Amino acid sequence: MPFPHHVFRHTPALRGLIIPPGESEMRFGQDRFAELDIQAEEEGWPPGWRMEHDAREANRHAVLKNRLGQDLWVFAYGSLIWDPAVQIKEYRYGTLPGWCRRFCMRLEGGRGSHERPGLMAALDEGGHCDGVVFRIAAALVDQETQFMWRREMFAGAYLPLFKTVATPQGPVDALTFVMDRNNRRYMPDLPEDEAAQMIAAAEGGLGPNFAYLDSLVRHLDELGIADHDMHRLHARARTYRFKSN
């Protein structure tokens, strides 16, 4: 079922480009973790690669304390933009100051391996990030954030924080999943050229790491969200991948 027309009243260019939750593969239940556990064992993912259900739910309730009875804004910088997997009441363009979209999370499974780890995009400190914010209706916040926590907090590599996001319609206090700098997967101060080489070479059970970066850049362009750093990294990674092939 498509999103209601009013969801994109401030962002008409996004209409038709956002995957409805009923069609999203990212709107999954607890059974998905059993499947991922099998994949993790087959691919040799490290022990403790994901959060347990009780710990994840405890984290969700702690973060959303006193907020479950009101509308919830969420800032999206990656696939959450075009594939939110939750029911949404409103979309806006948004800019998050003090944080940037950066490939700084180490991947040893999925689109990487122990032998050739890849990288995943996350929000890291510095600069700013252009993306979107979307609003979940108060009556659905408890239900919909369960899907969101399964997706965003499955490995516990993010910190869910509330940050002020600037939008053309005014600032909003938005839930934002940022890189946990204390997590073992965090790769700080990684030179862009080294990141490009890692992305070009890495591959796992879900396919090449480069395909992930390529999809991110294409979607950001399609949605009209500028990120010159991502384009530069993409160009470098594409050059290395072409040479290696």
pLDDT above 60 (res 244):
no
152 belongs to the catalytic site: yes
> Please, what CATH class does the domain formed by 5-189 belong to?
alpha beta
Residue 64 has which token pair?
A: 């959303």
Q: Per-residue pLDDT averaged across 227-239, rounded? A: 97
CA pseudo-torsion sign 110, 112, 114, 119: negative
Looking at 90, 144, 152, 203, which residue is catalytic?
152
Q: What is the pTM of this model?
A: 0.93
Q: Which pLDDT tens digit goes with each residue over 127-184?
A: 999 999 999 999 999 999 999 999 999 888 999 999 999 999 999 999 999 999 999 9
Residue extents of the structural domains in the chain:
5-189
d(CA 105, CA 124): 10
Q: Which pLDDT tens digit goes with each residue over 23-70?
A: 999 898 888 877 777 877 777 776 777 788 999 999 999 999 999 999
For 49-116, what is the HEC assignment?
CCCCHHHHHHHHHHHCCCCCCCCEEEEECCHHHHCCCCCCCEEEEEEEEEEEEEEEEEECCCCCCCCC
Q: Which pLDDT tens digit goes with each residue over 100-133?
A: 999 999 998 889 988 899 999 999 999 999 999 9
pLDDT at site 1: 67
Q: Taking a C-beta distance cutoff of 8 angstroms, is the pair 49, 36 a contact?
A: no
pLDDT at site 9: 97
pLDDT above 80 (res 95):
yes
